[in-house]
Structures are given as C-alpha cells and as structure tokens.
Amino acid sequence: MMKFPHRSAAFQLLTAVAAVGLASCATGRASRGQLSPKDWANAKIRAMPAFQVRAQGLDEAGVANLSAKLARDGMPKLSDKQLLRRTQLQAMMFEKADVDTCGNIARGTPAAGDADRLVGTVSEDSQQDYYAILAAAVSTELGVTPPAVSALPTIEKTSEAMNHLIDQLPPGDRPIFASNLAGIAKLPNDLACKTIRKLYGLVLASEGETQGVTARALTMQ
C-alpha cells in the first residue's frame, strides 16, 4: 500500500488554489448588480464585523491576504456538498486552463495573473458558486457560521482514501502517478497539469467516503 501523509508536500501544493483569486484584482463580467463574482465575495467578507476587527490597521494588501488565509483555513471545515462542488469547479478550471497556467498553479508557483486566468475559464455562474464557497469558508473560520464537521480526516483515513483513488488506475500507472503527485513541485508544466487534472478526475469518479475524504484533503495544508 502506498502511503500519502495527511500533510504531505503534494497536498500543500494542491492548496494553492484553495483561495485562488481573493488576493488579486477582480475579473469577469458584472454580476450581483455592478459587482463581479469576486468583488461580490470580497464585499460580503469585508462586511462581516468579525472580519473588520481582524482587518483593523491592515493596508489593502494585508486585507486581501487575510481574506485568502481565512478562506484556506476555513475550507476544510465546510460540508461535503460544498467541497464536492468546489472540486467540480476546480476540475473544470484545470481542464479549460492553458497548460502553463494549469501547471504553474499545480506546482504551487503561480505567475502574476494565473489565478484570475484559472477562474476566468469557467462561466460567470460557476465563478459565483466558487467565490460563494470561498466566502462561506471565511465565515466559518471567523466563527460566524458553525463548521460542518467536528473533526478532520486522520492521517490513516486520508492515506486509505488516496490509495482507493490510485486503485482506479491500471496497475502499471499507479506508481508513476503516485510519484508524479508526490513530486509535482518539480515537474514541468505539461506533466504537472496532466497530474492535477488526473487527480481531480479520480476524486470526481470516486464515491462515498473516499470522495468526501479526498475532496476535503485537497483543501488541507
């Protein structure tokens, strides 16, 4: 059985898209009145009294980074339904993105504008869903909304679920994929992109507890 540590380098890198876009400029057509999906999410977050307390004294860059950190930290505490939707949206983004954007983000080394380009590959309705989940994660981390889970998956449970994913592959492909996932930070963009697309595809093709645990694991660092 292959071992996949709960907080492995691969999982840390995959969280690069957990809060993609909140710390950069807004893109997309107008929605929610004159606001883009991202601006709507930012406005919702900044209107939270608990966020305003945490943001006191921060400049604009600091406020944006705080939003992104709260989204990352709160994401694993959301419901299975929310995290499955997030996984579906990110899978679509990676499939539609160009190889360089996809690979940069998969390796954890996004270039300027990559986050916006990734999210911008999907429809405005999908962007709205995506940013609504990010706002929900911030709300949960701030204690405004109760967490949907009382405990996160253990190392053993995560490792078991990841092995169930790997078992979906042909036997000869399993060690190659596992090696690429563990070393994704050092892969060229085309292979890093192929690896993360495969990972998200495996998660979406899985069922039950395996899907729930791996979708949650994708948010952890």
Q: Mean pLDDT per segment of 10 residues, for the chain of length 221 residues? A: 41 45 44 78 95 95 93 94 96 97 93 92 96 96 94 90 93 95 95 97 94 89 49
| Per-residue pLDDT at 152 | 87
Q: List residues bridging with 31 in a β-sheet.
A: 35
The reported pTM is: 0.85
Structure-token pair, residue 135:
């706002």
Q: Are 217 and 161 in contact (CB under 8 A)?
A: yes
- Considering all CA atoms of the chain, what is the largest pairwise distance in Å, rounded to the nearest integer? 55
Query: How many CB atoms lie under 10 A from the CB of residue 129?
Result: 17
104 residue type, one letter: N
> How far apart, in whole angstroms, are the C-alpha atoms of residue 101 and residue 182?
20
pLDDT at 6: 38
pLDDT score at 150: 86
Return the DSSP state at 95: H
3-state secondary structure of 41: helix
Spatial separation of the C-alpha atoms in residues 65 and 71, rounded to whole Å: 10
Sign of CA dihedral 144, 137, 216, 92: positive
State the Cα–Cα distance between residues 43 and 168, nearest whole angstrom.
Answer: 42
The dihedral through the CA atoms of 14, 19, 23, 28 has a sign that is positive
